[in-house]
Amino acid sequence: MRKELEEKDAIATGYLYSSFRLEVEGDVGFVRNEAPYSKVLEYGCVPHTPPYDAILRWVEIKKEEVGPEAERAAWRIVKKIEKEGYEGRFYAKDALERLVRFGGRL
């Protein structure tokens, strides 16, 4: 999974990656993620206003910007998501497909 996240440039703090949990019930396994933004990164979202503070924190961590530069960058991202939504990265889907290709079982 980490490889897919790195390939899709989806790692900032590592929280998304460390939030994966595998649960097994009988012959069935479930992959879950408790990060509040995991579904948005996987599947994308329709246009809406995302939380500015969360976007600002991401800019500060991922883009290593601070102060007014970070604030302007965060507002640009918020406005883009308001207008266009966000296209999913499908990192989990790709990881599971890779597992199956290399002989893993789901």
pTM for the structure as a whole: 0.78
Higher pLDDT, 20 or 52: 52
As a whole number, mean pLDDT of residues 50-63 equals 94
> How does pLDDT run across 86-101, given as a tens digit for each residue?
999 998 888 888 888 8
**Average pLDDT, whole number, for the chain?**
89
Neighbours of 30 (CB within 10 A): 9
Instruction: Quick: pLDDT tens for 70-79.
Output: 999 999 999 9
How many beta carbons lie within 10 A of that of residue 92, not counting itself? 20
Domain boundaries, the chain: 1-38+89-106, 47-84
Mean pLDDT confidence for 3-24: 84
Describe the crossing of helices 67-84 and 52-62 by its angle, rounded to 10 degrees: 120
Predicted local distance difference test score (pLDDT) of residue 105: 57
